[in-house]
Amino acid sequence: MTVKEIFETMEYGDAPESAAEALRWLVDNGSRFGHFIGGQTTEVGTTFESRNPATGEVLAHISQASQADVDLAVAAAKAAQKKWEKIGGKARAKYLYALARLVQKHARLFSVLESLDNGKPIREARDADIPLVARHFYYHAGMAQLMDEELPDRAPLGVCGQIIPWNFPLLMLAWKIAPAIAMGNTVVLKPAEYTPLTALLFAQICTEAGLPKGVVNIVTGDGAVGEMIVAHNDIDKIAFTGSTAVGRRIRQATAGSGKSLTLELGGKSPYVVFEDADIDSAIEGLVDAIFFNQGQVCCAGSRLLVQESIAEDFHNRLIARMAKLRIGNPLDKSIDVGAIVDPAQLSRITQMIETSAQSGKVHQPVAAPEGCFYPPTLITGLHGSDSLMQEEIFGPVLVSTTFRTQAEAVQVANNTRFGLAASVWTENINLALDIAPKLAAGVVWVNGANMFDAAAGFGGLRESGFGREGGWEGLQAYTKPIVKGKAVKAPKAFDKPQVLEVEGLDRTAKMYIGGKQARPDSGYSKGVYSSKGKLLGHVGIGSRKDIRNAVEAARGAAGWAKASAHLRAQILYYIGENLSARSDEFAARIQAMTGTTAGKAVQEVTDAIETLFTFAAWCDKLDGAAKPVPMRGVALAMNESLGVIGAFCDDRPLAGLVEVIAPAIAMGNRVVAVASDAYQLAATDFYQVLDTSDLPAGVVNIITGPHDALAETMAGHMDIDAVWSFSSSDISKHIEFESASNLKRTWVNNGMDRGYSARDWLAQSVEVKTVWVPYGE
Ligand code: NAI
């Protein structure tokens, strides 16, 4: 072709990146890999193949870890951990910095190897994945440097088991390993079976950086190896990124084990385009949102919501743009869409579209080449409840729907089980910043998509999982408070007759639901006695129906989240003041029920009042942040309420109740609190304080009843966003297991009282939403 002809057609020529160096690296390693355990490469065991999805050729033979390999890796991590912790943050920082530098030094090799193994365009591996990997190690080198001064009351968790997916193999490794080792943990990481190669190259740079043996251990294999890591007794924390189905299984498998858990799961993220958006930019953004990495992105903008007035034009322009996408050889530097990671994923995508797209119209303006490729696809005309509108496709497939009003846009956007990310396109800053907080998502991009940075938190809510990666908030996942816990003892209430009695309900202290006193649905109550056997009153025995009613009332009080922090503070102060006016009465009640001394009873009331005042003070002081991300723009970290929190209180009859209510409502949540298992009367008295304190109905609901009987209903309830338990009853495992239903957050004591700080309570009471607001050129 002559230069003149090239100018006339404007066709792209080939711009191949050489694979030679990466292939040489494979050959140099015998194309057969063992695990990386305790600083050594192990003998190659039973192997499976890692293939280049674009060509089908076998790249290497990878060892499938056995239980013995996993045991060895965990033992190496455990042996290394204390020393790694003790050398201090500043010494650790040097290693992280060295890793960052080495990633940069080997950036080209990493990029090509990633592209070969995963099928992603070299342009993306080179310009997005690998620079973000280096950035993550730099950023967390800084966090290690600052840890001793800035986080003096936090300690590492111990050994972290980390299981990662195949869509961003090295980037997910960096997101997991960098914060973990910065904070003094050691790790056993398992890359996905389709894409282990860059993790194995990373193991070599750990050696090159002189990282102490056992700090990073890498074992390869399939889901069975993941299960071994999850089940291992010497692992203190599991961090998982992958499918919601596996995330749910891990939640159940770790229930009651005391392991910390963070889950980064799937999504069906809305991409909302208003009629006043800059349409050309919105289309370019959309190409990035859904065709980047062949759509195999957990936060892909896979659901287009476009305002009806511009929908036809927008679709036409989008289809025209899609027709220009280049799909093919991932190592060609001007390729837009590469290969799907594996034929199994390709057939999954193909089947989903073939079986479920009938009610819509499928647009595929550019054909895919032979092999493991899928064409960029737009599907219009589907119904909101169609499976393709609800399920994660994890391929280059966009589904589209329309909306008329802003309220409808929010409602349709939030019509999903997931809550990972969202994009909003409008030239109206007021509209963007009005919509962003209303979207159920952990990350919102204003006039953008797929922006990531180590300084900005990333993570989801609902069935997209819990926990954040990146930023200060991400360190929560790899540290714990230093305080030593003490075992919770279950006190025994004084209960003379020992039998449940059917009582004249008028004498029963009622539960408190939706701002009203409520009789227990069961119709049963039980007597509460003093140490001398005197009947102090009766309390209702709550059942699942009472919990459901309370949740409904709490859902109905959603306006509380929108109330200003100033108003919430005033109401909390008022509750404190009203409790203070009745101190004597409450102290007498506590003393009679528990048999404690008068002094201790008074102290408990004083503690409860202090707690109310403290969280009243915090209402308008838990600042968000503007993260200094490397772009013209900011990433705002906004503290949002979780929604409805179900809480089981400890056995301080009043202070235990107030301790859960105060931080939760200070941050705009609504609460369904189950009073102390042993002593319920002070909680039932407390509604009178609430009633006189201007607290809107439904914000706090108080149930009485046996914790073990109510735990399952609370943890399994689909309209509860988080469950806490400080109960003396052994319900932690139950709660964690049942929470897998909608993957709600849990915070349970596992039988230990840890005396959390106000900061800890606040962190558990908010969800950090990152809102990216680009500006300038
Ligand atoms: P997956 O969730 O099965 O795999 C992710 C990782 O978990 C891999 O390392 C795998 O070996 C491991 N794993 C699998 N089963 C496990 C178990 N029982 N216990 C512990 N670890 C286990 O994802 P898969 O099957 O590769 O992809 C299926 C679908 O999952 C995709 O089509 C996509 O919809 C979704 N997915 C979502 C990702 C995300 O980032 N949100 C990433 C990968 C997949």
Tens digit of pLDDT for each residue in 82-115? Answer: 999 999 999 999 999 999 999 999 999 999 999 9
Rounded Cα–Cα distance for residues 605 and 656 (Å): 10
ipTM score:
0.96
Helix (H) or strand (E) holding 700: strand 700-703
Cβ of 234 closer than 6 Å to ligand 1, yes or no, is no
The one-letter code for the residue type at 724 is W
Q: What is the pLDDT of residues 243-300, one digit of tens each?
A: 999 999 999 999 999 999 999 999 999 999 999 999 999 999 999 999 999 999 999 9
- Between helices 583-594 and 598-618, what is the axis angle to 10°? 130
DSSP 336: S
What phi and psi, each to the nearest 5 degrees, are found at residue 56? Answer: 85, -5
- To test the pocket of ligand 1, the residue of 243, 251, 341, 348 to mutate (highest count of ligand atoms within 8 Å of its CB) is 243
User: How far, in whole angstroms, is CA 241 from its chain's centroid?
Assistant: 10
For ligand 1, whether the C-beta of 34 sits within 6 Å is: no
* CB 242 less than 6 A from any atom of ligand 1: yes
Q: Is 5 a catalytic residue?
A: no
Contact yes or no for 660/642 (Cβ under 8 A): no
Report the separation in Å between the CA atom of 239 and the middle of ligand 1, taken as the mean of its atom positions: 13
Confidence tier at 531 by pLDDT (50, 70, 90): confident
Q: Name the segment(s) of the chain with CATH classification 3.40.605.10.
A: 19-51+58-265, 492-621+642-748
- Ligand 1 neighbour 223 (Cβ under 6 A): yes
Q: What does the block give as tokens for 699?
A: 């914000």
Distance, CA of 732 to CA of 754 (rounded, Å): 14
Catalytic residue, candidates 17, 124, 193, 264: 264
Higher pLDDT, 17 or 14: 17
Take residue 196 and report the two structure tokens written for it.
Answer: 């282990």
- The protein residue whose alpha carbon is closest to atom 43 in ligand 1 is 242
165 Cα–ligand 1 center, Å: 6
Pocket flag, ligand 1, residue 655 (CB < 6 Å): no
Report the chain's C-alpha Rg in angstroms: 28
Please state the three-class secondary structure of 165-178 as a single string.
Answer: CCCCHHHHHHHHHH
Residues of the chain with CATH 3.40.309.10: 270-292+306-452
pLDDT digits (tens, 9 = 90+) for 379-392: 999 999 999 999 99
Residue type, position 394, single letter = F
Per-residue pLDDT at 493 exceeds 90: no
What is the 8-class DSSP label of residue 55?
Answer: T
Say yes or no: CB of residue 231 within 6 Å of ligand 1: no
Mean pLDDT, the chain, whole residue set: 96
Residue 229 CA, closest ligand 1 atom number: 20
Contact 396, 295 (CB under 8 A): yes
Q: Which 3 state secondary structure label does DSSP give 113?
A: helix
**Beta carbon of 161 within 6 Å of any ligand 1 atom:** no
Neighbours of 746 (CB within 10 A): 23
> Residue 166 CA: which ligand 1 atom is closest?
43
**Residue 243 in contact with ligand 1 by CB distance below 6 A:** yes
Ligand 1 atom 11: the closest Cα is on which residue?
Answer: 223
485 or 74, higher pLDDT: 74
Q: Which atom of ligand 1 is nearest to the CA of 267?
A: 41
* Residue 598 CB-density burial (10 A; 0-12 exposed, 13-18 middle, 19+ buried): exposed
Q: What is the DSSP letter of 209?
A: T
> How many angstroms does the Cα of residue 242 sit away from the middle of ligand 1?
4
Compute the distance between CA of residue 439 and CA of residue 213 in angstroms, rounded to an integer: 45
d(CA 648, CA 734) in angstroms, rounded, equals 13
Closest ligand 1 atom, CA of 163? 9
Two tokens, residue 717? 């309830």
pLDDT in tens, 164-190: 999 999 999 999 999 999 999 999 999
What 3-state DSSP class applies to 301? coil
Angle at which helices 655-666 and 758-765 pack, to 10 degrees? Answer: 50
Q: Which CATH superfamily is domain 270-292+306-452 in?
A: Aldehyde Dehydrogenase; Chain A, domain 2 (3.40.309.10)
Strand partners of residue 537: 528
pLDDT (0 to 100) of residue 503 = 45
232/220 Cα distance (integer angstroms)? 16
Alpha helix ranges (H) inside 557-618: 559-562, 565-581, 583-594, 598-618
Instruction: For residue 564, report the phi and psi dihedrals to the nearest 5 degrees.
Output: -70, 150
Question: Strands of 58-63's sheet, edge to edge?
Answer: 32-33, 58-63, 47-51
Q: In this structure, which residue's CA is closest to atom 30 in ligand 1?
A: 243
Q: How far is the CA of 304 from the centre of ligand 1 (A)?
A: 25
pLDDT in tens, 142-163: 999 999 999 999 999 999 999 9
Atom 8 of ligand 1 has which residue's CA nearest to it? 192
CA torsion, ordered 357, 362, 364, 370, to nearest 10 deg:
30
- Cβ of 104 less than 6 Å from ligand 1: no
Which residue type occupies 296?
Q
Indicate if ligand 1 lies below 6 Å from the C-beta of 222: yes
Q: Is 765 in the pocket of ligand 1 (CB under 6 A)?
A: no
Q: For ligand 1, atom 10, which residue shows the shortest CA distance? A: 223
The residue type found at 579 is L
**Residue recorded with tokens 């194995």:** 200
Residue with the smallest CA separation from ligand 1 atom 24 is: 243
State if residue 241 touches ligand 1 by the CB under 6 angstroms criterion: yes
According to CATH, the superfamily of the domain at 492-621+642-748 is Aldehyde Dehydrogenase; Chain A, domain 1 (3.40.605.10)
Tokens of 564: 């200003």
Distance from the CA of 454 to the center of ligand 1, in angstroms? 23
Distance 246 CA to ligand 1 centre (A): 6
C-beta of residue 341 within 8 angstroms of C-beta of residue 166: yes
Q: What is the pTM of this model?
A: 0.96
How much is the pLDDT for 507? Answer: 64
Please name the residue whose Cα sits nearest to atom 6 of ligand 1: 165
Q: Distance between CA 692 and CA 615 in Å, rounded? A: 19
For the Cβ of 167 lying below 6 angstroms from any atom of ligand 1, the answer is yes
Can you give the length of the chain in residues?
A: 777
Distance CA 695, CA 563 (A): 11
Beta-carbon contacts of 178 under 8 Å, excluding residues fewer than 6 positions away, are 96, 99, 136, 137, 139, 140, 454
Question: CA-to-CA distance for 290 and 376, rounded, in angstroms?
Answer: 9
For atom 20 of ligand 1, which residue has the closest CA? 226
The CATH architecture assigned to 19-51+58-265 reads 3-Layer(aba) Sandwich (3.40)
Mean pLDDT, residues 390-409 taken together: 98
Q: Using the Cα atoms of residue 118, residue 124, residue 125 and residue 130 in order, give the sign of their dihedral.
A: negative
Taking CA atoms only, the protein residue closest to ligand 1 atom 22 is 223
Give me ligand 1 centre to Cα 84, in Å.
30
CA 245 to ligand 1: nearest atom: 2
Q: Does the CB atom of residue 163 touch ligand 1 within 6 A?
A: yes
Dig out the tokens for 720 from the structure. 């509860």
Q: For residue 189, give the 3-state DSSP assignment.
A: strand
pLDDT digits (tens, 9 = 90+) for 580-603: 999 999 999 999 999 999 999 999
Per the CB < 8 A criterion, the answer to whether 327 and 424 are in contact is no
Centroid of ligand 1 to alpha carbon of 302 (angstroms): 18
* 118 CB within 6 A, ligand 1: no
* Token couple for 304: 């287009």
Q: Is the pLDDT of residue 496 over 70?
A: no
In testing the pocket of ligand 1, which one of 246, 269, 347 has its CB within 8 Å of the most ligand atoms? Answer: 246
Q: Could you tell me the distance, in angstroms and rounded to a whole number, from the CA of residue 296 to the centre of ligand 1?
A: 12
Q: How large a percentage of the chain has pLDDT more than 70? A: 98
User: Do residues 310 and 417 lie in contact, with contact meaning Cβ atoms separated by under 8 Å?
Assistant: no
pLDDT at 497 over 80: no
- Contact in structure between 675 and 702 (CB atoms under 8 Å): yes
Mean pLDDT of 230-253: 98
For residue 560, report the distance from its CA to the centre of ligand 1, in Å. 37
Q: Does 503 contact ligand 1 (Cβ within 6 A)?
A: no
pLDDT at 222 over 70: yes
